[in-house]
Chains A and B, each alone.
Chain A
Amino acid sequence: MINFGIEFVPRDLYWKTTFYAIQAEKTGFNTLWVTDHFNNRNVYVALAIVSAYTDKIRFGPGVTNPYMAHPIVTAQAVSTLNEIAPGRVICGIGVGDRTTLEMVNMKPFKPLATIREAVRIVRETTSGKNLEMQGEIFTVSGAKLNFRTANRIPIFVGAQGPKMLALAAEIGDGVLINASHPKVVENAIGFVREGAAKAGKRLDDLEIAAYTSFSIAKEPNKAAKSVVPVVAYIVAGCPETVLQKHRISIETATKIRQAIIRGKWKEAFSQITDEMVEAFSICGTPETVVEKIYSLVKVGTTQLVAGSPIGPNIRKSINMIAAEVFPHFENKEEKLHD
């Protein structure tokens, strides 16, 4: 069975994000992720108001990173949210967006050790433990929240490279694979399997999400046009291994990143090719999108995250997903064997 998640970027006014969140819940999305970038509205403030206007949908930061926010603060934030919406809170954590980190001169140093320790801090603190930890990155001496977290908060680790994917499976409850192309996701699940085996887990124990850049519209060109800015950010922040896989030169990615940092949007977006859109997004008409999601399900995806931009008109695109995509996956097992 595949679940559908949706991602919102709180670049929009708070009430628009909340409006779409209510709509996502009504139309049958199971999970809602809100991105965490310092230059947008604060993720936890956005999630707090979303929690007040929704009743069922799971939600959490997607993803926060331990460079901008100490994991103890993340633990505090998700635990507080869990008080407002018990049992609905999840926590997505990853190395963060390279381009935004660079804007404040942050380098995602020692990402594997940082994420491993950050997850431990969030996990143990939200479990009510008095944490003593002398790590390679973080040292915590007797940190304990002064309030109880009523239930376990599932942690999803965002990952793209082989080692991070394996680590995500080893320490996470779920893996957020930062990819849209079925071949890339299939390859990634291979590393997830290795990480799960190392931790004595079965692949079935994990929720495996393809965290896609998604754009749906009746006219393919409109869908593509709206996804270009997001693909630009993805290419700009891609690890070299991923760029090589898609035959994108490091120079091109660097140019795009620098243009974004300088606020030269036109310059950045003009370098995005159709091949990049194909590689880094699920984009097109409902029929095209359904085919692409089938391909992701077949390689083992259990959650499809419809990430930003969702479509040229978010409200219409959410309704389109509900009306023209969801029905194809209601009896997934049967259809996959057709």
Chain B
Amino acid sequence: MALEKIVRKIPSSSWEATSERLIDIVLNSPNASKMPSGLAKTILYYWQRDQLATEVGLQRLLEASMIVDSEKTIDVLKELGLQELVTVLESR
């Protein structure tokens, strides 16, 4: 399933919290250098426009966090109670 569809499974009430946690993963991961430069620039674009806690922003953050630390991303999504999202991500 495409990330675009996956993020639609996040209820809007959880957008802010999910965004915050994913940003932390992306910024603090020891594998941060694995982030593709193009994706980094897209995230900066959405960050500048306060759109990281929107569907499009979350889509890019999720993509980035899965690249730099998929295990931690899954753990965080579980903590946030986004089990359906976890199942889809794990089956990809």
A residues whose Cβ falls under 8 Å from a Cβ of B: 13-16, 18-19, 22-23, 26, 53-54, 313-315
Q: Is the CB of A22 within 8 A of B33?
A: no
Q: What 10 pairs between A and B have smallest CB-CB spacing?
A: A15-B40, A53-B48, A53-B44, A22-B48, A22-B47, A18-B44, A13-B32, A315-B27, A15-B44, A16-B27
CB B77 to nearest CB in A, in angstroms, measures 20
CB contact under 8 A between A315 and B32, given known A22-B44, A53-B44, A53-B48: no
Q: Is the CB of A315 within 8 A of B24?
A: yes
Which residues on B sit within 8 Å (CB–CB) of A314?
27
25 A-B pairs (CB sep. < 8 Å): A13-B33, A13-B35, A13-B40, A15-B37, A15-B43, A16-B27, A16-B32, A18-B44, A19-B27, A19-B43, A19-B44, A19-B47, A22-B44, A23-B47, A26-B50, A53-B44, A53-B45, A53-B47, A53-B48, A54-B48, A313-B28, A314-B27, A315-B23, A315-B24, A315-B27
CB A45 to nearest CB in B, in angstroms, measures 13
Minimum CB distance partner of B23 in chain A: A315
CB B24 to nearest CB in A, in angstroms, measures 7
In addition to A18-B44, A22-B47, A315-B27, 15 A-B residue pairs with Cβ atoms within 8 Å of each other are A13-B33, A13-B35, A15-B40, A15-B41, A19-B44, A19-B47, A22-B44, A22-B48, A23-B47, A26-B50, A53-B45, A53-B47, A53-B48, A313-B28, A315-B23
Complex Cα distance A251/B41, Å?
A: 46
Interface size of B as a range: 10 to 19
CB B49 to nearest CB in A, in angstroms, measures 10
CB B1 to nearest CB in A, in angstroms, measures 27
Which residues on A sit within 8 Å (CB–CB) of B45?
53
Which residues on B sit within 8 Å (CB–CB) of A313?
28
B residues whose Cβ falls under 8 Å from a Cβ of A: 23-24, 27-28, 32-33, 35, 37, 40-41, 43-45, 47-48, 50
Complex Cα distance A13/B41, Å?
A: 12
Minimum CB distance partner of B45 in chain A: A53
Which residues on A sit within 8 Å (CB–CB) of B27?
16, 19, 314-315
Which residues on B sit within 8 Å (CB–CB) of A53?
44-45, 47-48
